[in-house]
Structure 1
Amino acid sequence: MANEDIYTFSEAFPMKGGDGIHSYTLNSNLQGNGVIAAKKLITESIAEKLDIKIFSSLNICRIADLGCSVGPNTFFAVQNIVDAVKFKYKNLGLDSQIPEFHAFFNDHVANDFNTLFTSLPPNREYHAAGVPGSFYSKLFPNSLLHIVNCSFSCHWLSKVPKEVIDKSSSAWNKGRIHYANAPDAVVKAFEAQYQKDMDSFLCLRAQEIVHGGLLVIFSPSRPSGTSHSQSAYNMLVDALSPCLMDLVKKGVVDEKKVDSFNIPVFHFSPEELTQAVDRTGYFSIEEIKELPLTANGTLSLEQLSLHIRAIVELSVKANFGEEILDELFDLYLKKLQELSFNFNSENSINVFAILKRK
């Protein structure tokens, strides 16, 4: 398979579906704890920033969760928003005027929507619908949505930058699958892809969200001024590179496949997000906060290994084959133990931002 084919093929793999031992459903406590920790911020932000007049014409609140995966975290996120809107109405003495809720769950077309919808909360307070497709494309009609949530999703790029798998490029990322400890040219290629993607993301959401509507971004991040190589999130992903190269040395994996495989994520800083909002000009930043990773709870190294496997297994399987998975992630756990990896590092944060459509 040509490099370009691998590049195109690997860019849109969702999280591991189902409910098995390696599934995202069972190995997304890190994200789930973060969503739960953000509940108070969601409630406060909607109470202060949301103008309920935007619901007045049809008395319906349309919510979208972008990058929903398979649950249960997406259900927590949507329910947090529903509860916050209801709380606002009750505080205003408008209990009888609480709108109906329509929730749209979005992810790539290959997402396990069957598992998602079979696990919908039976007593949910909203009508549910699935919307397949990349959030780097237009997903909804103009001015349809009132509140859009994107939790632990928009650090995923639309694709791997072409330069990093091009042998003739100065940004060729040979022997690595991430940019954390890569040469400057590789880092710049990822930064440029992030800027392009985030600008596109914000411009598309500006079309879909009503004026006065809210966009909630909750994402793994790094503090402004912190180097990419010092970010705990980046270190966690980057630790896969030497494990794959160990399999190359054993003759289990073709080195050319490692050279053509990169994980398309970019852990932006709050400053970089602010710059994107300012560049595009469609939203105002109502609030932006840095949350410590301790808000996500503490995970053991074994749990972190399973967490990363649930995220990248399908992509690794497509590029290297299913037969390497167990050996690769056994090596990965040993690598984390060897590094005495401390995920709750001060060099990584979650960024929480409330943006309002102008």
Structure 2
Amino acid sequence: MGTEDPTAFSESHPMNGGDGVLSYARNSWAQRGAVDSAKQMIQQAIADLLDIEKLKLESSHKFQLADLGCATGTNTFFAVQNIIEAVDAKCKLYSSKHWNNSQSLGLEYQIFFNDHVGNDFNTLFRSFPVLWQYFAAAVPGSFYGRLFPKRSIHFMHSSNALNWISRVPKEVVDINSPAWNEGSIYCSGTANKVLDAYSTQFKNDIETFLDARAQELVGGGLMMLILAGLPDDVLLCQTLIGKSYDILGSCLVDMANKV
């Protein structure tokens, strides 16, 4: 656990657990696509920026990696494997330049799988690859706060997780607020004050997130964050996912009216 109570500053809504038809594990192909698309960027970033000497990996033989917002299913394992393969390749290149051989440094990998306390870690660990080359541990708690000791992690990774803010802004659910998000289940962009409320929440969250990671990363450590974005002149309600939320919200309203 982190040094702070994650329930004190964030709402916890983990992905559906288990491996049934409605589970995250069986309904996260889009998220898997993001992991696959980022593989080349991760390889390039590690090849260009990972400083073996500064990290002193040749003497410690230990590489600690954290996947923040791992959820359940196999996506996190593919992401971790991509990083390990890239680090191994960089270590072999380092060895060939400094010791005239192409052997790796024989690193031992410690992987920390992080998500909310309510995440289905049991299903996650039961779905481990048959052959895995690292020591694994679960780290429950919100990443909108400290999770690890200072200067302890060499590589931070998070994919399709930071788009989930820590809480719904209070203003958008207050019927007396000018930012009340009437009839919508997401940031629909129909009112500027609604947009401002969500934007302020995200800015506060990302500042908290980055401050925590700055303390936890070792000097010379790397971080890869993968999340969707929009151009400044495009509203979420104008996108495919926004239109999907509109349909879902309409269905939920119809269901509520029948109760």
2:3 aligned partner? none
Question: 2:58 touches 2:105 (CA, 8 Å); kept in 1?
Answer: no
Quote the offset at 1:232 in angstroms. Answer: 2.8
Quote the offset at 1:185 in angstroms. Answer: 1.0
Separation in structure 2 between the aligned mates of residue 159 and residue 126 of structure 1, nearest angstrom: 34
Secondary structure of the structure 1 residue equivalent to 2:24: coil
Question: 1:66 touches 1:105 (CA, 8 Å); kept in 2?
Answer: yes
Question: 2:26 touches 2:73 (CA, 8 Å); kept in 1?
Answer: no
Question: 1:220 touches 1:233 (CA, 8 Å); kept in 2?
Answer: no
Quote the offset at 1:239 in angstroms. Answer: 2.8
Runs of 4+ off more than 6 Å: none
Tell me which moved more, 227-236 or 54-63.
Answer: 227-236
TM-score normalised per structure 1: 0.65
Tell me which moved more, 232-241 or 51-60.
Answer: 232-241
1:217 aligns with 2:225: yes
The Cα offsets for residues 245-293 of structure 1, whole Å up to 9 and x where unpaired, read as 22234x23xxxxxxxxxxxxxxxxxxxxxxxxxxxxxxxxxxxxxxxxx
The Cα offsets for residues 95-117 of structure 1, whole Å up to 9 and x where unpaired, read as 24142111000000000000001
Out of 146, 150, 170, the residue aligned to residue 154 of structure 2 is 146
Secondary structure of the structure 1 residue equivalent to 2:32: helix
Quote the offset at 1:57 in angstroms. Answer: 4.5
2:254 aligned partner? 246
Amino acid at match of 1:165: V
Out of 181, 184, 187, the residue aligned to residue 176 of structure 1 is 184
1:231-310 alignment, distance < 5 Å: 231-249=239-257, 251-252=258-259
Question: 1:65 touches 1:149 (CA, 8 Å); kept in 2?
Answer: yes
Quote the offset at 1:123 in angstroms. Answer: 1.1
Separation in structure 2 between the aligned mates of residue 146 and residue 247 of structure 1, nearest angstrom: 48
RMSD of Structure 2 on Structure 1 (CA): 1.7
1:28 aligned partner? 28
Pick closer, same or farther for the CA change 1:211–1:239 going to 2, 3 Å.
farther
The Cα offsets for residues 181-205 of structure 1, whole Å up to 9 and x where unpaired, read as 4311111100000000001100110
Task: Give aligned pairs, total.
Answer: 243
Out of 60, 64, 67, the residue aligned to residue 65 of structure 1 is 67
Amino acid at match of 1:214: L
**Which structure 2 segments of 5+ residues have no match?**
1-7, 97-101
Out of 121, 128, 140, the residue aligned to residue 129 of structure 2 is 121
**Which structure 1 segments of 5+ residues have no match?**
1-7, 253-358
Out of 216, 230, 235, the residue aligned to residue 227 of structure 1 is 235
1:52 aligned partner? 52
Separation in structure 2 between the aligned mates of residue 198 and residue 232 of structure 1, nearest angstrom: 25
Pick closer, same or farther for the CA change 1:96–1:194 going to 2, 3 Å.
closer
Secondary structure of the structure 2 residue equivalent to 1:205: helix
Separation in structure 2 between the aligned mates of residue 98 and residue 233 of structure 1, nearest angstrom: 44
Secondary structure of the structure 1 residue equivalent to 2:136: strand
Secondary structure of the structure 2 residue equivalent to 1:38: helix
Separation in structure 2 between the aligned mates of residue 239 and residue 185 of structure 1, nearest angstrom: 23
What percent of counterpart residues are identical? 45
2:99 aligned partner? none
Quote the offset at 1:74 in angstroms. Answer: 0.3
1:83 aligned partner? 85
1:15 aligned partner? 15
2:5 aligned partner? none
The Cα offsets for residues 64-100 of structure 1, whole Å up to 9 and x where unpaired, read as 0000001200000101000000011223325241421
Separation in structure 2 between the aligned mates of residue 163 and residue 182 of structure 1, nearest angstrom: 15
Secondary structure of the structure 2 residue equivalent to 1:220: coil
Quote the offset at 1:18 in angstroms. Answer: 0.5
Question: 1:222 touches 1:231 (CA, 8 Å); kept in 2?
Answer: no
Question: 1:70 touches 1:113 (CA, 8 Å); kept in 2?
Answer: yes
Separation in structure 2 between the aligned mates of residue 20 and residue 227 of structure 1, nearest angstrom: 34
Question: 2:88 touches 2:104 (CA, 8 Å); kept in 1?
Answer: no
Separation in structure 1 between the aligned mates of residue 187 and residue 138 of structure 2, nearest angstrom: 33
Pick closer, same or farther for the CA change 1:142–1:57 going to 2, 3 Å.
farther
Quote the offset at 1:227 in angstroms. Answer: 2.4
